[in-house]
Amino acid sequence: MGVIKIAILDTGVNANHKEFINTKLNGYALYVNLNGEVEKRNEFHDELGHGTAVFYLINKFSKNAEITNIKIFHGKTANISQADFEKILIYI
């Protein structure tokens, strides 16, 4: 069986978490700017912990997976407008 590619759209991942010391982490952040354009940034640090937990579980049970963490929720809340979410999905 080949490699399974998984994209996690969430709050990012805390790369400093003790469970990920020897784990290769891939990811980036997507933002919708004031002009309504999607911007890609090479950071995906998790401020809330949800994306870290989701990545941990998927990574633990998916040994044959290539996981990309895409941070779409920013700050201290996991809120995004439907319009921004749709723009991000189109970008991906």
Using alpha carbons, select from 24, 19, 65, 75 the residue that is nearest to residue 45.
75
Give domain limits for the chain. 4-62+69-91
At 53 the three-state DSSP class reads helix
Q: Which residues of the chain carry a pLDDT beneath 70?
A: 1
Cα(91)–Cα(2) distance, rounded to whole angstroms? Answer: 26
Q: What is the pTM of this model?
A: 0.90
